Structure 1
Amino acid sequence: MDSDPHIVVAGAGSIGCFVGGLLAAAGRNVTLLVRPRIAAEIRAHGLTLTDLDGMAVQVRADAIGLSEDPACMEEADVVLVTVKSRSTDALGREIAQYAPRHAPVVSLQNGVTNAEVLRKRLPGRDVRAGMVAFNVVPMGQGCYHRAVEGDVVVEAGPGDLAAVMQAPGLECVESRDIESVQWGKFLMNLNNALNALSGLPLQEQLKNRGWRRLMADQWAEAYSVLKACGIKPKSFTPVPVGALPLVLRLPNAIFLRLASAMLKIDPQARASMSYDLMEGRPTEIDALQGMVVRKGAEAGVPTPINAMVVDVMKTAELAEEGLPNLTPESLRAELSQNRPS
C-alpha cells in the first residue's frame, strides 16, 4: 500500500465524519463522500470533533476532501464504508464501478451481513468486516461528538490496515475472529431501538430499571437464538455475554454501583435510531431485531420481544412524528396483546 494512501470514506454520516476527520487531522489524505447537506455544513464550518474525555479537534474545510460524486473513489487506496445497511448493496455497485481493484474495502457499519453483501458485489477484492465500538452524536455546524468510549476493530488480512486507520484519538486493531466481535456488538446494538422508542438519553434510560429489565429480556431472547445457531458473540463488558441480563435486572442501588463503566456515557447521548426517527429517516431495525426474528424462525426459537420491537419501530417510522416517548410498561402491554391466546 502507498505510504500516503488516499482514504475515501463512502457514505460519511456521523461515524464517517468522525473517523475521517480524525484521520485527516493526523495528516492522512482523506475524502468524504457525503450527502449535499453535510458537504455544505463542512464547507461552511469545517469539522469539530469532540469526546466525553475533553478531546477537541478542529479540521479546516480545506484540510479534507469533500465530494458528492462516487467517482471520487477512482483514486482511492482504501475505501471505508459507513452507509446504513439498507444502502450497502447500492454502494457496492458504485465501488465496483469506480474504485480500483487494489483498494481494500472496509465495512464500518452496524449489523453483521454488510461485508458479505459487499463481497458479492466485489468478487476477488479485499473486503474486510469491521466494527466501531463507540457512537457519535451529530451536534450541528460540522461538530461530531463521541459519546461512548471504544475502538475500531477490522478483520485481519494482508497489509497493516490498522496502522493506516489509526490516529491520535482513534485506536484501531485487527482481529482474526471478527465474526465474534461483530455479533457481540450486534447484541449491544439491540438497545438502539429501545432507546429510540423511549425518547430518553442513553444514560437516563440505563438508570431506569424498567427499561433495563426489558433490555435484559430482549438480550436473553436474542442470545438464545445465537446459541441455537452456533454463534459465539464476544463480550464487550467484564460480564460474560450470557450473564449480562442478570446484571441489567439488578435493583438500581446495586446496578449503579456495579455497572459504573456502562454508565460512562455523555448525559445527552442517544442511539443512532433516535436521530433517524427525529429526522424522518428509515432505521436499521431490519438489520438488528429483524435479524433476530429471521434467525429465530430458522432455528425454531420464538422471538416475541424482538418481533414486537420491529412492529413498534415500523409504526414509529411510518408515523414520522419523531421520538415516540414510550414506556417499558407500554411495550410490555403491546407484547401481551400480540401474544397468542
Structure 2
Amino acid sequence: MKILVVGAGATGGYFGGLLARSGQDVTFLVRPRRAAVLRARGLRITGRGEEWSLEPRLVTADALTTPYDLVLLSVKSTALHQAMEDIAPAVGPDTAIVPLLNGLAHIDALNARFGAGPVLGGVAKVVTTLSDEGDIVRLAPLAHLTVGEQDGSPSPRVEKIRSALAEAGIDVLVPEDVMTSMWHKWVFITTFGAVTGLMRGTVGEINAVPGGAELGPAVLDEASAVSAAAGHPVPEPERAATLGIVTATGSPMVPSLYRDLIAGRPTEVEHLFGDLVARARALAVPTPLLDLATLHLRVHQERVTAGRQA
C-alpha cells in the first residue's frame, strides 16, 4: 500500500513514523520549513519509554504527481483548505482519504472537494507534542486510531487499512458508526479545551480551587446534549471517562489547544467551537459555557491575527 501522510507534526508524524518504521511505503507531505528540520534531524520519537528515529521519505506539494492508495490527513483545520489543494494530484479513483482532524466540518469540506467516495471517517487519540527542536514527544500511553466508512458499512478497503495500521503496531478500532465516534471525540476535546482554556490552567489547578470541580461536568453536559440532539448520545462509560480526566485531582493535563492559547498561537476555534455552537443553535440546545469559551477563543484569535498583521 502506497501511503501519503499529510503533515509530520505531533499526530501525523507519530502514526506515520510507526508505519514507516514497520517497512511500509510511506511518504510525508510537508512544508519546506518542516522538511528542513526532518532532513537535518530525522523523524525522532521520544517519551514514555520510546526513543527511536528514522530518515523519512519527504515530498513537497509541487512534487506530487501520482495517486496514492491511502492519504492520512493530519493537519490543523486552519491548513485544511490548502492541504486539499496540495493533495489533489495524490487522489485517484482508488484513493482512500482518512482525516485525523477533530470536529466534523472537515468531512463536509473534503466531500465537497473530492466527493464522498474517497473520504472515510477517522479519529486519532494520542497525547503527543513537538519539542522546540521539532522532535515528537509522547506524553501519555494513549495512542490509537479509529477508521470507518462514513455510512458505517463494512468494506474491503477499511479492512486493508486496518491491517496495514495493525502491522505497524498501531491499535485500530473499526466501529459500526465512525461518525458517532467522531462526535464523541468532539465532545471530549471541546469539554477539555473549554475547561482549561477558560480557566487558563491545568486540570489539577482548576479542580484545586472552590467551584473548580463543578466546571468540567457542566461543560460536558452541554457538549453531550448537542451530540445527543444530533443523534449521537454519549454512552455512560465514555462520559465517565471524560469526567475522570477533567475532574482529576492534581492532574497536569492540558490539551494542545491550551498549549497554543498560552503560547499566543492561533487555535482551531471556529472548527472546534464555532461549528459546535452553531449546530447547537440549529438544534435548539442551549450552551452558555461553550458560547463563553468560543467568545474567549475568538478574542484571542483576533489578537493573534492583529499581531501578525502589525
Shorter-chain TM band:
0.7 to 0.9
Counterparts of 1:50-129 in structure 2, within 5 Å, are 50-52=46-48, 54-59=49-54, 61=55, 64-69=56-61, 71-72=63-64, 74-123=66-115, 125-129=117-121
Between the two proteins, the alignment pairs up a number of residues equal to 296
- After alignment, is 205-214 or 78-87 more displaced? 205-214
Aligned to 1:14: 10
Q: Deviations over 1:160-184 (max 9, x none)?
A: 2111223555212322211121111
Structure 1 equivalent of residue 293 of structure 2: 309
Residues 67 and 89 in structure 2, CA contact (< 8 A), matched pair in contact too = no
Task: Tell me the equivalent position of 1:296.
Answer: 280
Instruction: Report the residue type matching 2:147 in the other structure.
Output: V
2:125 paired residue number: 133
Amino acid at match of 1:187: V
Cα distance in 2 for partners of 1:206, 1:143 equals: 31
- Which residue of structure 2 lines up, in the alignment, with residue 41 of structure 1? 37
TM-superposed deviation, 1:48? 1.7
Deviation at 1:153, TM superposition (A): 0.6
Q: 1:282: Cα distance to partner?
A: 2.4
How far apart are the structure 2 equivalents of 1:170 and 1:11?
A: 18
Distance 1:234 1:138, change over 3 A: farther
What amino acid does structure 1 have at the position aligned with 2:161? Answer: L
Corresponding residue number in structure 1 for 2:189: 189
- Scaled by the length of structure 2, the TM-score of the pair is 0.83
Counterpart code for 1:44: A
The worse-fitting range, judged by mean Cα deviation, of 6-15 and 191-200 is 191-200
Q: Which amino acid aligns with 1:170?
A: I
**Which string of whole-angstrom CA distances, capped at 9 and with x for unpartnered residues, describes residues 27-78 of structure 1?**
11211111222211111111221343x122221x2xx111222543624221
Instruction: List per-residue Cα deviations over 1:229-259 (Å, max 9, x = no partner).
Output: 3322356xxx352x67876897xxxx65xxx
1:267-325 CA-to-partner distances (Å, cap 9, x unmatched) read 5x64221343355442112222223311221122222111111111122223349xxxx
SS of 2:126's equivalent? coil
**Are the equivalent residues in 1 in contact too, given 2:45–2:51 (CA < 8 A)?**
yes
Cα distance change of structure 1 residues 163 and 102 upon mapping to structure 2, 3 Å threshold: same
Please say if residues 111 and 182 of structure 1, whose CA atoms lie closer than 8 Å, have aligned partners that are also in contact.
yes
CA distance in structure 1 between the partners assigned to 2:256 and 2:20 by the alignment = 24
In percent, how many aligned pairs have the same letter? Answer: 27
2:143 equivalent in structure 1: 150
Paired AA for residue 69 in structure 2: D
Q: Equivalents in 1 of 2:57, 2:194: separation in Å?
A: 33
Scaled by the length of structure 1, what TM-score is found? 0.76
Equivalent in the alignment of 1:26:
22
* Amino acid across the alignment from 1:161: I
**TM-fit CA distance, 1:114:** 1.9
Amino acid at match of 1:287: H
CA contact (8 A) 1:70 1:98 kept: no
Amino acid at match of 2:143: G
Contact 1:216 1:245 in 2 (8 A): no
CA 1:124–1:230 in 2, change beyond 3 Å: closer, same or farther?
A: closer
1:231 equivalent to 2:232? Answer: yes
User: Could you tell me whether the CA contact under 8 Å between 2:228 and 2:234 is conserved in 1?
Assistant: no
Q: Please tell me the residue identity of whatever aligns with 1:218.
A: V
Instruction: Decide which moves more: 37-46 or 85-94.
Output: 85-94
CA distance in 2, matches of 1:244, 1:138: 26
Structure 2 runs not aligned, ≥5 long: 150-154, 306-310
Counterpart of 1:329 in structure 2 is none
Structure 1's unaligned 5+ residue stretches are: 322-341
Counterpart-to-counterpart distance in 2, 1:201 and 1:169: 31
